[in-house]
Chains A and B, each alone.
Chain A
Amino acid sequence: MKISYNWIKEYLDLDVKPADLAEKIERTSVEVDDVVTPSAGLKKIVVGHVLSVEAHPDSDHLHICQVDVGEDDPLQIVCGAPNIAKGQMVIVALPGSRIADNVKIKKSKMRGVPSAGMICALQEIGFSDDVVPKEYVDGIYVLPADATPGDDVYDYLGMNDSLIDLDVTPNRGDMLSLNGTLRDLAAIYDKPVTLDQPEVKETGDAIADQLMIHADADLAPQYRMRLVKQVKIAPSPMWLQIRLWNAGYRPINNVVDITNYIMLKYGQPLHAFDYDKFAGQDVYVRNAKAGEKLTTLDEGEHDLDDHDIVIADDQAPIALAGVMGGLTTSITDETTTVAIEAAVFEHDHIRKAAQRHNLHTDASQRFERGVNRAGVQDALDAAAEMMTDLADGAVQTGTAVGSDNVPEPAVIPLSLTHVNAVLGTDLELAKVVHILESLGFKVVTAGEDMTVTVPIRRNDIHIPADLLEEIARIYGYDELPTTLPTGRMTMGTLTSAQKLMRATRHSLEGLGLNQAISYALTTADKAKMFMMHSSEETNLAWPMSVDHAVLRMNVVTGLLDDIAYNTARKVKDVALYEQGRVFYREDGNDRPSEEEHIAGAITGTLMPAGWNQPAKDVDFYQIKGIVEAYLKDMAINGDVTYEANTDMPEMHPGRTADILVHGHRIGFMGQVHPTTAKKFKIGATYVFELNLQAIIDMPKQENQYDVISRYPAITRDIAMLVPDEVTNDQIVALIEKRGGAFLQSVKLFDVYDGVKVPKGKKSLAYTLTYQDKHETLVDDAVTQAFEKVEKRLQDDLGAEIR
């Protein structure tokens, strides 16, 4: 809500600049979006009197005008506006002036005719299209006839005012009005404020004979109408138009403008009906019936159902309660009798109606936050009074009341000790009482105990904590001391799972992978790729886009999306890991279970080419090396094995391995299937994904010291030809099993599958290291053990020792 600085000053004696006032409001009350002075940045824009208008000889729409701008000679200005006419007082941007958007106006020629400046539309000096009166939207603006040529136009148009744009939080509905803001400012600045009291002159017949309201008090706790006859529809006076456009409302006519003005001043939304368009004399506030329709003021057509509250006459709905009036009963230039509605509707209904019909209005915004139920009659009276003053209307006697349900004011006990205990302050009773009273609350004290009665307009205050906020903000948050919690000591330590997750990240970063954080919401297709076990998918009920509609059941696809993003930007070498959750759901459960995973993806090369080393593209064994090093860092207590997996549809059938611990599959790694890679628009990419939760839960090997043998080690190399099906794992397992007590390690140092090897065979070569921890090994002992291994390899695996 935009609130006028000048309007505030009419009621409160403040000696502060607009910017300082805004700052104070922001620090004490509600957020301020900005403070704008409409004339800021404008220069040399004055009133001009159009002395003559001639058609331009070379144009069918331009006019050559002589304009008195208060100087000795009139200015010749070429103007293209269709509504320019002799005798008008207009807005003139003089040569050398600045208009909206910092545009500079210079002397120029238009189709050969010199033009000294520009006659302006309101939009050209910074007005929004939305607030310019309809008749001036497509042309220049015409100022009042009593304007003085040569004067700056700003004061005529209210442009020297400053407008403070309040961003009111949902709890402070009271701040959506001048009066509410004034009450808060009175407390903030500790100054008295006197608000206007309406005085209605009732000159007509009793309303009871002309209008009968039937309102459901559950839907509308307050529903009142006044009737004003013989109104003369006309434009509002300048001061009222200025108030409205400065607040962001388009002036329409005196009756409609009054309703908007009263809403701004009192926070009470009003609606003006053309009474003569009512079918009958009865007005109903009721639920809509299925099948009923309503065309609202904005010409939108709405199908209603029984969730909607409508205002209806004997025949049909005439307004969507609290949201917008209907078109058939709206005020027109021919209207003579106005029914003014002032009501409070149940906020929940209004919120839902505004959502259902996608019609968020200033009225609905206020009803949603709650309107002062004790102030309805005042606002209604003030509107009626203004209709007499500005439209010569005759206010009929009395108010038609359909419902009058005013809640009891909140009475809240509060103790000084509690105030100081929660705020950390040392306030005295008198200070606290003064703050509460300055806000218009009633305080009765008994010793240090207070009983606070809250005015009905403050519907946000129910409990002592609410009062604490009032005290704290008015006292000032800057005045609060700055301390840290004291009390019993607590330990701040990470759990072992948290420690392992940190270690996981450090390990993978050390191995060259950058941490990525990808989207957990993805497409239906991607969500179920690279699955480690079967699961139902979990879908969002109303996703924003198909790209983020389903919860992921793998982490890899997010990384592949990241690689695709990099690839599209010509970043070829990408090494990423991500630690995050996947979401598995069992059929029958609405809620998925969440499992921590760790995944990595590499494309291109992990180590870029340098001037002294060539690049080596990532391959299976590099990603395996990373997985092995990582699992070693995690110190899993158990055998880690790798088994070829030819069945994952998204993975290369010949270059994929399951990762097993003690025979339990905890993940997979390998090359992404070329078809999958193509779908993602990426090159050859190697990935792994592990169930991190499983790693967290596994028993771990503690660090321990192992004596380093002082005795020399003896090595023996063995090369053999084996059938292609025999795996390294089989060979190593056999050597380790049969290697004897002194075998320390088996290291593969050569694999050859080239032309020198018969088809169907491959050559593997290993170094076996023997060592005794307690004495020097004898060569014979090693030879004996080695020969035994050779024999087993021949017998068990069909190896041909070379």
Chain B
Amino acid sequence: MSLKDKLDELHQRGLAEIKKSTDLKDVNQVRVSLLGKKGPITEVLRGMRDLDAEERPKVGAFANEIRDDLTAALAKRREELENAILNARLANEKIDVTLPGTPVAKGEPHVIQQIIDQIEDLFLGMGYQVLSGPEVEEDKYNFEMMNLPKNHPARDMQDTFYITKEILMRTQTSPMQARTLEKHDFSQGPLKMISPGVVYRRDTDDPTHSHQFHQVEGLVIDKHITMADLKGTLQVLAHELFGDKFDVRLRPSYFPFTEPSVEADITCFNCGGKGCNVCKNTGWIEVLGAGMVHPNVLKMAGVDPDVYGGFAFGVGPDRFAMLKYGVDDIRNFYLNDVRFLTQFTKKG
């Protein structure tokens, strides 16, 4: 048998043994037995000494070829077996992906805060400042400078928690109008502000009344502000809070600090304006009060009403939240049942 034939046979036998190997240990043994220092191929190569000088390189090359092929076959078999082992392990590691995820601690902003933030962001984008004032106010700012002198009948509309005759819990965020007007330097540009905050009324708490609730006051004063601007601004607000398909309409009303005074209604979101229980079949829901700032308010704050004028509006975030989410009891906002607080999780 020639060396070449011997190599051929070794080659075939080696491939067969590799194929037969069933685990990594087998593969290793096959490798050692075929390619090891004492293995048959080494032995064959050792026998090359007896060959002609002419034959030697040919057989040498052939032997290398066979060794490379067997090495590759071994590597391939090793990879196959490794893969099989890995796959078996992975199959074993299968889990139920429908089991719930591990809980993480996560808190939510209060729903009223969310509405206030939304209003703030809208008006910041339109160049308004956000100002907050004291919750304990002077009668002067809460009422008198709002054109509600003592004994004004409209004071009855707002039952007040007094601390002393002159000091009270603010019943509205409007006092910030007067406080800001007093200070504003119109040579630096128009006054555009909103003032969110907590307000207090002498009410007994029930599903629709709370002695504490929120308000966002808005005020724009410049030389050429119109009632049409008020209408447009309220429309932007309604679209931001409720959606573009909501319309705004104005109705006459009365507030001592605005003239003309209006209430603004928006399309009923329960029925889309067709008429239902929620909107008492009118298709509209009252959401806020507004108007053109009364000249007396400007005058009392030292602003010339013949030169400057503008609009003001007051929004109730509690009412908005109740309407928007169908909250049936205003007390939910202040009792802080965690099951209530964690319902409003949508961000953005």
Judge whether B100 and A611 touch: CB under 8 Å: yes
User: A612 — which chain B residues lie within 8 A by C-beta?
Assistant: 99, 102
Interfacial residues of chain B within 254-276, with CB under 8 A of chain A in the complex:
254, 259-263
Convert A480-502 into 0s and 1s, putting 1 for each residue whose CB lies closer than 8 angstroms to a CB of B: 11111111111111110010001
Segment of B13-21, B83-91, B133-141 in the binding face: B133-141
Q: A463-B295, A483-B226, A577-B107 are in contact. Are A538 and B341 (CB under 8 A)?
A: no
Judge whether A465 and B125 touch: CB under 8 Å: no
Judge whether B104 and A423 touch: CB under 8 Å: no
Closest to B106 in A: A512
Segment of B40-48, B62-70, B74-82, B329-337 in the binding face: B329-337
Closest to A609 in B: B103
Judge whether B333 and A517 touch: CB under 8 Å: yes
Judge whether B110 and A34 touch: CB under 8 Å: no
Segment of A104-112, A303-311, A468-476 in the binding face: A468-476
Segment of B25-33, B52-60, B164-172, B174-182 in the binding face: B164-172
Q: What's the A-B contact tally at a CB cutoff of 8 Å? A: 258
Say yes or no: is A281 at the interface (Cβ < 8 Å to chain B). no
Judge whether A483 and B127 touch: CB under 8 Å: no
Q: In the bound complex, how far is the Cα of B188 from the Cα of A489, in angstroms?
A: 10
Judge whether B162 and A540 touch: CB under 8 Å: yes
Q: In the bound complex, how far is the Cα of B152 from the Cα of A352, in angstroms?
A: 11
Closest to B253 in A: A169
Convert B226-269 into 0s and 1s, putting 1 for each residue whose CB lies closer than 8 angstroms to a CB of A: 11110111011000000000000111111000011111000000
Q: A347-B153, A477-B250 are in contact. Are A422 and B161 (CB under 8 A)?
A: no
Say yes or no: is B183 at the interface (Cβ < 8 Å to chain A). no
Grouping DSSP codes into helix (H, G, I), strand (E, B) and loop, the B interface class, with mixed when no group exceeds half, is mixed
Q: A347-B153, A487-B223 are in contact. Are A482 and B252 (CB under 8 A)?
A: no
Say yes or no: is A442 at the interface (Cβ < 8 Å to chain B). no
Q: A521-B161, A562-B335, A591-B136 are in contact. Are A26 and B251 (CB under 8 A)?
A: yes
User: A613 — which chain B residues lie within 8 A by C-beta?
Assistant: 102
Judge whether A544 and B251 touch: CB under 8 Å: no
Q: In the bound complex, how far is the Cα of B338 from the Cα of A544, in angstroms?
A: 27
Closest to B306 in A: A418
B219 to chain A, nearest CB (A): 11
Q: How many residues in B have their beta carbons less than 8 Å from beta carbons of A? A: 90
Which of B169, B254, B310 touches A171 (beta carbons < 8 Å)? B254
User: A665 — which chain B residues lie within 8 A by C-beta?
Assistant: none
Say yes or no: is A515 at the interface (Cβ < 8 Å to chain B). yes
Say yes or no: is A575 at the interface (Cβ < 8 Å to chain B). yes
User: B136 — which chain A residues lie within 8 A by C-beta?
Assistant: 538, 551, 583, 591-592, 594
Judge whether B250 and A575 touch: CB under 8 Å: no
Say yes or no: is A466 at the interface (Cβ < 8 Å to chain B). yes
Say yes or no: is B212 at the interface (Cβ < 8 Å to chain A). yes
User: A31 — which chain B residues lie within 8 A by C-beta?
Assistant: 251, 253, 263
Say yes or no: is A508 at the interface (Cβ < 8 Å to chain B). yes
User: B203 — which chain A residues lie within 8 A by C-beta?
Assistant: 544
Say yes or no: is A336 at the interface (Cβ < 8 Å to chain B). no
* A interface list, Cβ under 8 A from B: 23, 26-31, 34, 169-172, 347-348, 351-352, 368-369, 421-425, 463, 465-466, 468-469, 472-473, 477-478, 480-495, 498, 502, 505, 508-521, 538-545, 548, 551, 559, 562, 565-566, 569, 571, 573-577, 580-581, 583, 590-592, 594, 606-608, 610-613
In the A-B complex, the 5 residue pairs with the smallest Cβ-Cβ separation, listed nearest first, are: A512-B105, A424-B228, A424-B226, A469-B260, A169-B254
Contacts A469-B261, A490-B127, A494-B120 known; list 12 others, CB within 8 Å.
A29-B252, A170-B254, A463-B259, A477-B250, A480-B250, A514-B108, A520-B212, A538-B163, A541-B163, A551-B136, A566-B336, A594-B135
